[in-house]
């Protein structure tokens, strides 16, 4: 069982294949969308944003290879994992499929256990890729030499202006600040206050 419902788009013009795939994918808690042509697949993809596409190769009109190329040419869909499911099993056909951008190739007649294993693998891989992309997007690395004032500890930014350290870091990272007083500064401030009290007396 999936921890949450992952979505799969199945593109196949054979009703029997669609029925079989729909039944066993739903049994394993996948949310399944089904279309019977390449154009319908291209039309619905931006709306449903599935986690994976199962794509037949031999279909009337636009074949699976061309559909795959068009999906990969769309920057919003390019990372979508596509698995070909087809009776074409020559090395040339497989090379064409991978060259078009597919991540895997399953030949018909397929074994449900094999299909499920490949789907799980590629959806998991895509999730890990997304997590890495998000982490890299969030990390803003400070590199190089930062000019910092020896007295007030302000940093000179790229435009030549001086900024408080926390302001500069906030602009260049996802860090947030909470202010406190370190022990050394606390002792120093207390000593100053005591000296002021003595002077007043």
Structure confidence at residue 1 as a pLDDT band (50, 70, 90): very low
Angle at 126 (CA atoms; ends 2, 102), nearest 5 degrees? 115
pLDDT tens digits for 11-43?
988 888 788 888 889 888 999 999 999 999 999
* Model confidence pTM above 0.85: no
Residue 83, pLDDT score: 95
* Nearest to 116, CA basis, from 160, 94, 85, 140: 85
First vs last C-alpha separation in the chain: 77
Rounded average pLDDT over 65-87 = 93
Would you state the pLDDT for residue 142? 54
* pLDDT computed for residue 139 by the predictor: 58
Domains of the chain: 7-138 (3.40.50.2300), 155-200 (no CATH)
* Cα 75-47-117 angle, rounded to 5 deg: 80
Say which range, 7-21, 85-99, 109-123, 153-167, has the weakest mean pLDDT: 153-167
């Amino acid at each position: 069982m999936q921890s949450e419902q992952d979505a799969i788009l199945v593109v196949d013009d054979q009703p029997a294949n669609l029925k079989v795939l729909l039944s066993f994918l739903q049994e394993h808690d996948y949310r399944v969308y089904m279309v019977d042509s390449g154009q319908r697949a291209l039309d619905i993809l931006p709306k449903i944003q599935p986690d994976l596409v199962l794509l037949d190769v031999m279909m009337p009109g636009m074949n699976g290879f061309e559909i795959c190329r068009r999906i990969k040419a769309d920057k919003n869909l390019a990372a979508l994992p596509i698995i070909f499911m087809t009776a074409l099993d020559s090395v040339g056909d497989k090379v064409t499929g991978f060259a078009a951008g597919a991540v895997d190739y399953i030949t018909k007649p397929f074994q449900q256990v094999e299909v499920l294993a490949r789907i799980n693998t590629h959806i998991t891989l895509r999730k890990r890729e997304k997590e890495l992309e998000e982490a890299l997007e969030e990390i803003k690395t400070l590199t190089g030499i930062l000019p910092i004032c020896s007295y007030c500890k302000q940093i000179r930014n790229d435009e030549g202006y001086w900024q408080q350290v926390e302001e500069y870091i906030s602009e260049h990272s996802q860090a947030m600040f909470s202010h406190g007083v370190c022990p050394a500064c606390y002792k120093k401030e207390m000593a100053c206050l005591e000296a002021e009290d003595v002077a007043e007396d």
